[in-house]
């Protein structure tokens, strides 16, 4: 198993769902086993969101991403060649595919904000494709956030909340919502800062994708959404959902894609309850994932390899496998 950390900076467990605040019929599944953080996988009986409890405190979350995060996930650690690191990850290609989905819906001279810009691949592609766009972003990893920006001019801010209300035409967040302490709060901020008719695009892992092991659950992902729960959350934040479902890009299968716009007068409201059938479907899906010997052996072997070879070399091997798989898939098309 990955390296253990003694102080995770976890907040007190209130017994409430991270998304809707309900404490009704919260179901416990199992303790988090990827990193043994002391968290547990829970399901809300009201809104059917799946989440880790307890969550991080704000200070704990910041400390997590500046310390343990990259050591827990070696695929995020470069080894020798930064060029090969990004090429095998496929950041630029993925960014092109994402931007192609939204390009035609961005107005001339549009103001586009990215939450959690990472290495800057998406903003770099946006600048290449549309030199007229005005780009801003929030990304706490100052050392890495310009790695793939290229010549893009980006105004970095501390958070979306620092921007004026109704100042943006588009907000994007790719694999960010699941990391946030307050996902609903972010969506409400987005609705407030979009102009009338402005659009939000989200990408998150799909809880109902074909994951086979409890190692799918880890401390970096605090919330787990299916299409139904993600839609209801966005609507509660005052957004009008245009699409929420399987990702339109086949290469990004296993993720959800949400497109929503700000109505003339956004109205925040409580998250609508999930249908009982939805709660049962989520329970059945998660309960099918067992805790077998293969999972324990895999975790043990990874821990030994990490100690002997180090996270950077293990990450290189993981990226090579991902790159090779992508090349095989491309050759078949």
- The pLDDT tens digits of the residues spanning 173-221 come to 999 999 999 999 999 999 999 999 999 999 999 999 988 889 899 999 9
* pLDDT of 1 above 50: no
Q: What is the mean pLDDT of the chain?
A: 92
* pLDDT of 327 above 70: yes
Please give the pLDDT value at position 8. Answer: 81
Scan for tokens 């907040």, then name that residue.
11
Task: Kindly report the three-state secondary structure assignment for every residue of 77-138.
Answer: CCCCCHHHHHHHHCHHHHHHHHHHHHHHHCCCCCEEEEECCCCCHHHHHHHHHCCCCEEEEE
- pLDDT band at residue 16 using 50, 70 and 90 as cut-offs: very high
Q: What is the mean pLDDT of residues 117-143?
A: 95
* pLDDT of 254 above 50: yes
d(CA 283, CA 224): 13
Please give the pLDDT value at position 194. Answer: 98
* pLDDT of 259 above 50: yes
Q: Which residues pair with 43 in a beta bridge?
A: 27, 50
Q: Where are the domains of the chain?
A: 82-266, 293-332
Query: What CATH code is assigned to 82-266?
Result: 3.40.50.150
Three-state secondary-structure class, residue 187: helix
d(CA 161, CA 177): 15
d(CA 109, CA 131): 9
- The pLDDT tens digits of the residues spanning 72-110 come to 888 888 899 999 999 999 999 999 999 999 999 999 999
**Where is 139: in which H helix or E strand?**
none
**CA angle at 220 for the pair 177 and 321, rounded to the nearest 5°:** 100
């Amino acid at each position: 198993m990955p390296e253990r950390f003694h102080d995770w900076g976890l907040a007190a467990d209130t017994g409430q769902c991270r998304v809707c605040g309900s404490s009704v019929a919260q179901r416990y599944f199992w303790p988090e086993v990827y990193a043994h953080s002391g968290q547990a996988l829970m399901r809300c009986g009201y809104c059917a969101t799946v989440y880790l409890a307890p969550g991080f405190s704000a200070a704990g979350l910041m400390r997590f991403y500046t310390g343990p995060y990259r050591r827990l996930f070696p695929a995020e650690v470069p080894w020798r060649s930064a060029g090969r690191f990004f090429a095998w990850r496929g950041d630029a290609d993925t960014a092109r595919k994402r931007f192609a989905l939204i390009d035609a819906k961005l107005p001339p001279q549009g103001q586009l904000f990215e939450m959690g810009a990472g290495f800057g691949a998406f903003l770099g592609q946006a600048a290449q494709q549309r030199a007229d766009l005005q780009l801003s972003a929030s990304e706490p990893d100052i050392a890495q956030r310009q790695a793939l920006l290229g010549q893009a001019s980006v105004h970095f801010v501390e958070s979306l909340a620092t921007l004026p209300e109704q100042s943006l035409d588009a907000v994007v967040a790719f694999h960010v919502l699941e990391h946030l302490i307050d996902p609903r709060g972010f969506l409400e901020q987005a609705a407030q800062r979009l102009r009338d008719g402005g659009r939000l695009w989200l990408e998150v892992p799909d809880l109902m994708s074909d994951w086979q092991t409890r190692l799918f659950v880890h401390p970096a992902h605090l919330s787990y959404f299916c299409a139904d729960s993600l839609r209801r959350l966005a609507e509660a934040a005052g957004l009008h959902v245009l699409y929420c479902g399987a990702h339109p890009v086949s290469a990004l299968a296993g993720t959800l894609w949400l497109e929503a716009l700000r109505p003339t007068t956004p109205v925040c409201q409580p998250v609508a309850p999930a249908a009982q059938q939805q709660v049962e479907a989520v329970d059945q899906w998660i309960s099918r994932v067992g805790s077998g010997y293969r999972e324990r052996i895999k975790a043990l072997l990874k821990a030994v390899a990490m100690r002997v070879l180090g996270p950077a070399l293990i990450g290189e091997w993981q990226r090579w496998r991902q790159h090779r798989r992508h090349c095989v898939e491309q050759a078949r098309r």
